[in-house]
Amino acid sequence: MSGPPNVGAAAVRAGDRRALARLLTLVENATPAAEAALAELYPYTGGAQLIGITGPPGSGKSSLVNELAKLLRRGTPARPPVTVAIVAVDPSSPFTGGAILGDRIRMRDLAGDPGVFIRSMASRGSLGGLARATADVVRVLDAAGYGAILIETVGAGQTEVDIARAAHTTVVVEAPGLGDDVQAIKAGLLEAADVLVVNKADQPGADSALKALRASLDLAHPIARRWAAAGGGHHRVTTVATEPEAAPDVWLVPLLPTIAIQGQGTEALLAAIDRHRAYLQTSGELARRERDRLAHELEARLRDYLLAALVDRLGQGALAAALDRVAARECDPGTAARALAAHLLPPA
Amino acid sequence: MSGPPNVGAAAVRAGDRRALARLLTLVENATPAAEAALAELYPYTGGAQLIGITGPPGSGKSSLVNELAKLLRRGTPARPPVTVAIVAVDPSSPFTGGAILGDRIRMRDLAGDPGVFIRSMASRGSLGGLARATADVVRVLDAAGYGAILIETVGAGQTEVDIARAAHTTVVVEAPGLGDDVQAIKAGLLEAADVLVVNKADQPGADSALKALRASLDLAHPIARRWAAAGGGHHRVTTVATEPEAAPDVWLVPLLPTIAIQGQGTEALLAAIDRHRAYLQTSGELARRERDRLAHELEARLRDYLLAALVDRLGQGALAAALDRVAARECDPGTAARALAAHLLPPA
């Protein structure tokens, strides 16, 4: 074989934690060896339940992840125990890395469990790169056989939404007392939520936070209806759930109160996540979402490879010369980019 | 001439506001006519002072933009009056569009002034697209002859930082009472700040907000020093300014209290912005930053054009077939993307 050396894809599938950790580092650094391992492992993905959990700092999201992980390990009357991987992603600057590392300390009670694997990822420049690295890390963990993968992101912006897209079910966590102004940021997150949680539900302001979110969901309702009527791809009608018994045809985003540090409400949350998973499967939405996500990823990777090929072909000097002309205002950026692209790909 | 019809680049340069508004719409929609106009206008850019203002909702950023615009129009003992354009960018979901439109109401006292032009932009899908559209809108306004362009973004994430990069001087606005937790989000913003403002300085908690930011700046200080020592490109040493008289060699990020709705502190803020502009010019940092920004933009445009050329060449069907194989887990996304790229650009 002339390809890159095997970096332990087989060992990863056999449950070797050290091989897993090593491969994840290669994947994060996007090495050629990681490409080969990802290609080898990809057919074995698809078994894990992927749960995204996002929300602003201070919402107690990490405690909730902690409790969900324990519950998944223990099992409930409604579901058997599974192994769990946690991927904690901090898309903000390296300067804020401390926050998520601090949260990790609270996970000490999970660290001794061989059925739990925890991985933290921080931003290294490109945000698109982080979303793709997260997708690859999740794939490796999926192929390694973890039954559930919790993808935790800090924040409330578009980046977090993009990262959350790797999950089957996205849980958005809010908490009282984060300030009314902050609510405005989160409107974008509402659209991404499959399940909404108000954590710290015993704290002052919890009722008004629940009320405000309920109002937001109701407000979004007619829009979702209109989308569905117009043949829009997404059937997620964002309103308060009426706790259906079986897998529903239309998903009504449930709004659930929790007190994660006391373990309250987490079993109901897991039940809602499982109901959503059942809905995705019976409605065909699971395949649709995965296809959407893969299309997005394929496109992003194509952009990267094409640019790399262009730089290989023309040489860094040609790009620098084009940049000189743009910086000297001899040529605008659009014209310069079109000329470079045409050099490689003349218009047919 | 066989190119697209002239869409009023000359009229825009002559000060025709309707032609300007029309062209900005074309630019936002990235039409071929806009490409031609941008190419025609580009040589006339570079005259405007570009000021970015960003910060979380609730910081009173819009009031501050309002006051700065009035001050720029009126002039101060230190600077003559100039014409002003305001570009208000909301990178969050279309659902939050209401917030920024509400803010616009406060700008009514500017709307009657023919020397002021206000343009709001909202996200339409791609965030990279929004950053590029903002850069193009700013270029058109620059070529139209506005003396100062205020680029206002809502939020505190990487996207806002990317958009703010179009400016020469980035002002980051904070305010007391937005919650301690929220401070964590803003650490990434500190790096982007050339000038830091605590607005609503008459409100409870202003002193502790100032103290906390001062501590953050002092904390960042040794890192900046190390970067500079290691030959890092950025000479911005983030610490408290000692209000130098002339253009400094090293930029010390000033931390300024303001009460925008009373017009307090805004003249000192404008003086700090002008001092930063002078620093950029004398240090050579202005050209360095513009080159960095243009390199980034050229690369992003190249990625777009190369992908479009590939789709043109292979047809949408080839991409759909690749996606089918990936969705069926017959081929991983990385391998599929490399194969598509190689089809067009065989490895040399």
At A133-168, the pLDDT tens digits run 889 999 999 999 999 999 998 765 666 667 777 899
Q: Answer yes or no: is B18 within a domain.
A: no
- Tell me how far apart the alpha carbons of residues A50 and A148 are, in angstroms, rounded to a whole number: 6
To the nearest whole angstrom, how far is the Cα of B126 from the nearest Cα of chain A?
10
To the nearest whole angstrom, how far is the Cα of B74 from the nearest Cα of chain A?
31
Contact status, residue B3 vs residue B36, Cβ threshold 8 Å: yes
Domain match, A32 and A65 both: no
The pLDDT score that the predictor gives to residue A11 is 94
Contact status, residue B156 vs residue B185, Cβ threshold 8 Å: yes
Domain match, A241 and A326 both: no
The pLDDT score that the predictor gives to residue B187 is 55
Domain match, B246 and B329 both: no
- Provide, as residue numbers in chain B, all residues whose Cβ is less than 8 Å from the Cβ of A41: 332
Domain match, A305 and A251 both: no
The pLDDT score that the predictor gives to residue A127 is 52
Domain match, A276 and A209 both: yes
- Provide, as residue numbers in chain B, all residues whose Cβ is less than 8 Å from the Cβ of A338: 301, 305
Interface of A with B in 321-340 (CB under 8 A): 322-323, 326-327, 329-338, 340
Domain match, B166 and B304 both: no
Q: Answer yes or no: is A289 within a domain.
A: no
pLDDT for A218-271, tens place per residue?
765 544 433 333 333 333 333 334 444 455 678 889 999 999 999 999 999 999
**Per-residue pLDDT averaged across A108-113, rounded?**
77
Q: Answer yes or no: is A22 within a domain.
A: yes
State the residue range of the domain holding A328: 299-344
Q: How many CB atoms lie within 10 A of CB B169?
A: 22
Alpha helices in chain B (DSSP H): 9-13, 17-28, 32-41, 61-74, 97-105, 108-111, 127-143, 158-164, 180-192, 206-229, 266-283, 285-314, 316-327, 333-344
Q: Answer yes or no: is A292 within a domain.
A: no
Domain match, B80 and B164 both: yes
The number of domains in chain A is: 3
To the nearest whole angstrom, how far is the Cα of B288 from the nearest Cα of chain A?
10
Q: Answer yes or no: is A196 within a domain.
A: yes
Q: Answer yes or no: is A290 within a domain.
A: no
Q: How many CB atoms lie within 10 A of CB A342?
A: 12
To the nearest whole angstrom, how far is the Cα of A77 from the nearest Cα of chain B?
33
Contact status, residue A195 vs residue A172, Cβ threshold 8 Å: yes
Task: Indicate if the pLDDT at residue A64 is higher than 60.
Answer: yes
Q: What is the CATH number of the domain that holds A62?
A: 3.40.50.300
Q: Where residue A46 falls among pLDDT bands split at 50, 70, 90?
A: very high
Q: Where residue A108 falls among pLDDT bands split at 50, 70, 90?
A: low
Each of the 348 residues of chain B gets a pLDDT tens digit; together they read 444 556 789 999 999 999 999 999 999 888 888 999 999 999 999 999 999 998 877 788 889 999 999 999 999 999 999 999 999 887 654 444 444 444 555 566 777 889 999 998 876 555 567 788 889 999 999 999 999 999 998 765 666 667 777 899 999 888 887 654 444 445 556 777 899 999 999 998 888 888 878 877 776 554 443 333 333 333 333 333 444 445 567 888 999 999 999 999 999 999 999 999 999 999 999 998 889 889 988 988 888 888 888 888 888 888 999 999 999 999 999 999 988 988 766 555
Two structure tokens written together for A4: 């890159």
- Tell me how far apart the alpha carbons of residues B84 and B267 are, in angstroms, rounded to a whole number: 16
Q: Answer yes or no: is A291 within a domain.
A: no
Domain match, A265 and A239 both: yes
- Cβ–Cβ contact B54 with A under 8 A: no
Interface of A with B in 245-274 (CB under 8 A): none
Domain match, A193 and A233 both: yes
Domain match, A156 and A64 both: yes
Q: What is the mean pLDDT of chain A?
A: 80
Considering A30-34, A77-81, A239-243, B125-129, the range whose residues carry the highest mean pLDDT is A77-81
Q: Answer yes or no: is B60 within a domain.
A: yes
Domain match, B218 and B335 both: no
- Cβ–Cβ contact A124 with B under 8 A: no
Interface of A with B in 190-219 (CB under 8 A): 190-191
Beta-bridged to residue B217, according to DSSP, are none
- Cβ–Cβ contact B63 with A under 8 A: no
Q: Give the count of Cβ contacts less than 8 A between chain A and B.
A: 226
Please indicate whether residue A87 or residue B238 has the higher confidence score (pLDDT). Answer: A87
Q: Is B145 left (phi over 0), alpha (psi -120 to 50) or beta?
A: left
pLDDT for B131-186, tens place per residue?
888 899 999 999 999 999 999 987 656 666 677 778 999 998 888 876 544 444 45
- Tell me how far apart the alpha carbons of residues A345 and B149 are, in angstroms, rounded to a whole number: 37
Two structure tokens written together for B132: 């590029």
Domain match, A27 and A97 both: no
Q: How many CB atoms lie within 10 A of CB A60?
A: 23
What torsion do the CA atoms of B225, B191, A105, A182 make, to the nearest 10 degrees?
A: 160
